[in-house]
Amino acid sequence: MINVPMTGIDGKLREQLKLMADQDTGGAIRAPGRCDIYYGVGQVARMQAGYQLAEGQLYYFFLKPEYVSQWMSRMSMPLQ
């Protein structure tokens, strides 16, 4: 989950609270506590991404090990 001010297409900052997936496996981000924010495709997304310089909060949610098998059984997936 990310909580960060983002610049809209009108140039105004708006607080954004979004659920996001961390899938970056590259090596471009080397400092701890930093991430890329995906804005989508197209000109508007490109403009928003180009102006994103604000700091915010990044939260990770982890499933406790003792609940993994219970969760997997609900997902109808075999635990390997």
pLDDT higher than 70, residue 80: no
| pTM score | 0.48
Q: Could you count the other beta carbons within 10 Å of the beta carbon of residue 9?
A: 11
pLDDT at 2: 82
More confident residue, 1 or 28: 1
Q: Residues 10-50: pLDDT tens digits?
A: 778 888 888 776 666 667 767 766 777 777 889 888 877 77
Residue with structure tokens 């610049």? 7
pLDDT band at 79 (very low <50, low <70, confident <90, very high): low
pLDDT at 60: 81
Structure tokens that stand for 26 in this block: 């590259």
3-state secondary structure of 18: strand
